């Protein structure tokens, strides 16, 4: 079983012996890998749809880890037992992740760690986390083909509110030392330049907002260069 670099990066944030809840497990590969490598002690694989959950169950049997994996049909964490250490949500968009986290405010009262790999609207997710009592402790990058994937380790507990630019490039990501950081920063800046160019005719509030974010991102890039000298 060959795991994508994206999912391997999520696995790297799991501590040895952790009990893992993989919400949106689909095929179940992440949990299976964690059990086969001895990294997780137990895995709850959950999904909102029965078909992916069945495929996770079949795969767990095929790879000989079904005895340490439980399967739970659930919208987010609503039907999950709470005796786990780490929540993993991977391969979903920000709206789904925010929905899942909003439904489980009890996560903030425990000792849980969250490993989040968001596929779309990442700035919105970072902003939501920062405004809703979570802190991004670590963030790194994985690459599969031509795509870059940020992976975050998030802890309950409010940290400093992120600025608009930091919702695109978090302080944790800038401190990650990832060899992919320079290329990723350039790509984020390029995306923001295109958004600004697309809005330039309107000159409205959104244009002004994106322009300010672009300036902030360019300052961050300049600091990376200065620190690299």
Which residues here bind ligand SAM, judged by CB under 6 A? 7, 23-26, 46-49, 52, 75-76, 90-92, 96, 99-100
36-39, long-range: CB within 8 Å, 24+ apart, which pairs?
36/1, 36/63, 36/64, 36/65, 37/11, 39/11, 39/14
Task: Tell me how many degrees the CA angle 172-175-178 measures, rounded to the nearest 5.
Answer: 105
CB of 106 to ligand SAM, least distance (A): 16
CB of 163 to ligand SAM, least distance (A): 29
CB of 126 to ligand SAM, least distance (A): 19
Distance CA 181, CA 174 (A): 7
Whichever of 59 and 96 has its CB closer to ligand SAM, that residue is 96
Whichever of 105 and 203 has its CB closer to ligand SAM, that residue is 105
CB of 196 to ligand SAM, least distance (A): 30
Whichever of 42 and 166 has its CB closer to ligand SAM, that residue is 42
Q: What is the 3-state secondary structure (H, E, C) of 78-119?
A: CCCCCCCCEEEEEEECHHHHHHHHHCCHHHHHCCCEEEEEEC
CB of 173 to ligand SAM, least distance (A): 19
Whichever of 20 and 100 has its CB closer to ligand SAM, that residue is 100
Q: Which residue is nearest to ligand SAM (CB)?
A: 91
167: CB partners within 8 A, 6+ apart: 123, 124, 126, 127, 130
Whichever of 80 and 155 has its CB closer to ligand SAM, that residue is 80
């Amino acid at each position: 079983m060959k795991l994508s670099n994206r999912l391997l990066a999520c696995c790297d944030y799991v501590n040895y012996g952790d009990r893992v809840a993989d919400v949106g497990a689909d095929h179940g590969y992440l949990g299976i890998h964690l059990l086969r490598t001895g990294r997780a002690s137990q895995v709850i694989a959950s999904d909102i749809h029965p078909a992916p959950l069945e495929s996770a169950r079949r795969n767990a049997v095929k790879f000989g880890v079904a005895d340490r994996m439980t399967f739970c049909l659930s919208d987010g964490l609503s039907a999950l037992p709470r005796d786990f250490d780490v929540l993993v949500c991977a391969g979903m968009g920000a709206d789904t992740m925010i929905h899942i986290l909003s439904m489980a405010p009890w996560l903030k009262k425990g000792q849980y760690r969250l490993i989040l790999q968001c596929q779309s609207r990442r700035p919105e997710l970072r902003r939501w986390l920062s405004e809703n009592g979570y802190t991004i402790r670590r963030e790194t990058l994985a690459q599969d083909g031509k795509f870059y994937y940020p992976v975050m380790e998030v802890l309950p507990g409010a940290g400093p509110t992120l600025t608009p630019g930091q919702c695109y490039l978090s302080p944790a990501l800038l401190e990650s030392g990832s060899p992919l950081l320079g290329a990723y920063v350039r790509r984020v800046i390029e995306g923001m330049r295109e958004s600004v160019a697309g809005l330039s005719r309107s000159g409205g509030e959104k244009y002004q907002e994106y322009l300010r974010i672009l300036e902030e991102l360019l300052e961050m890039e300049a600091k990376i260069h200065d620190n690299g000298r």
